[in-house]
Structure 1
Amino acid sequence: MIQDIEERSHGVWRPSPGSVYPALQQLEDEGLVTGDEAGGSRTYRLTEQGRSQAARHACEAPWEEVARTVPAGHHELRLLWAQLTEAFTHLARTGSERQVAEAKQLIKQTRRSVFQILAEG
């Protein structure tokens, strides 16, 4: 669910488990979803009342509103940053000393280059 919201909002909105799980509990308390425990994880399904409520609000997509807060051209920048973060996380876990040293130099140069781009504006 968290990943789905993040994808639908083009990476602008990634709700935390601390906000999602209380919301799911509230929906369950209201009879809109039912939760099942299986294999150490909890899954949720809409109840009949929940499907009816979802149908009434089908045209409302809060992730679209959030995504519109970021200019369209910036969505790709955010995606590229997320991919870069993933690469550096992998490097930090498995990279050799030489690879880490090269990455440090690349990060320093990239930082300087980004500030140079900003200075031109």
Structure 2
Amino acid sequence: MHATFDASRRQRGGRRGGFDRRGGFPGPFGRFGGPFGGPPPWADRRGKARRGNVRAAILALLAEEPRNGYQLIQEIEERSGGEWRPSPGAVYPALQQLTDEGLIEAEEQEGRRVFRLSDGGRAYAEAHPDEVNAPWEAMTSDVRDDVRDLFTTAAKTGSAVMQIVHTGDENQVAEARQILTETRRRLYRLLADDE
């Protein structure tokens, strides 16, 4: 019986009882959402991170100023509006590859390894402007900010529901069901009024 449970759990990505060990309950918009699972509604509109994107992003950012690996990750995430956060496992091998190619150089600054474009790297960036021109823009979605905020609110609501499922007594579960039922009706009325 335990073997069956473990196999089932592995098929669901290691989750137990719906909880995602990476940071919360898998929600309607990914691991940051509520209890229903599935990708964010804007996921099909986002660009997929291709292998060359990390490399191009590093070259674009180092063309501005020297940065360490952590700063590169943070800057890519910020410029993509949080849509793209490359992992260290993608960034540091790309930095090593660019170093091997002679396009960037590394030096120690205050105990950190900081990277800058070499003369060859600067020449490469100037010769390939299309490759290094803000590659994170392909990662940003076209979902309006107010809609994104609505998704976030729904995701937090789903997480609250899961907390009640796991820790609530019978009265709390019943009251939560009434609240959600009334909320659903009000949302449909909102659409009906709009029509």
TM-score tier (shorter): 0.5 to 0.7
Alignment-derived partner of residue 83 in structure 2:
12
Question: Counterpart of 2:144 in 1: which secondary structure?
Answer: helix
Query: Unaligned regions of 5+ residues in structure 1, if any?
Result: 82-107
- State the alpha-carbon separation in 1 of the partners of residues 100 and 76 from structure 2: 22
**Which protein is richer in helix relative to its size?**
1
CA deviation map 1:1-53 (0-9, x unaligned): 11111121111101111111110010000000000123221000100110011
SS of alignment partner, residue 10 of structure 1: coil
Q: 2: CA distance between counterparts of 1:51 and 1:76?
A: 40
Larger of the two Rg values belongs to structure: 2
Q: Which residue does the alignment assign to 1:44? A: 115
- Shift in alpha-carbon separation, 1:75–1:17, aligned structure 2, 3 A: farther
Asked if the contact 1:31/1:47 (under 8 Å) is kept, the reply is yes
Deviation at 1:58, TM superposition (A): 2.7
Which SS does the other structure have where 1:37 is aligned? strand
Shift of 1:75: 8.5
TM, length-normalised to structure 1: 0.58
Residue aligned with 1:42, SS: strand
Counterpart Cα distance in 2 of 1:29 and 1:38? 20
Give the whole-Å Cα distance in 1 for the aligned partners of 2:146 and 2:87.
Answer: 20
What is the percentage of aligned positions where both structures have the same residue? Answer: 46
- Residue matched to 1:89: none
1:76 to partner: Cα distance: 7.8
1:62 to 131, 135, 143: 135
Aligned 8 A contact 1:10 1:75 in 2 = no
Say how many residue pairs are matched. 88
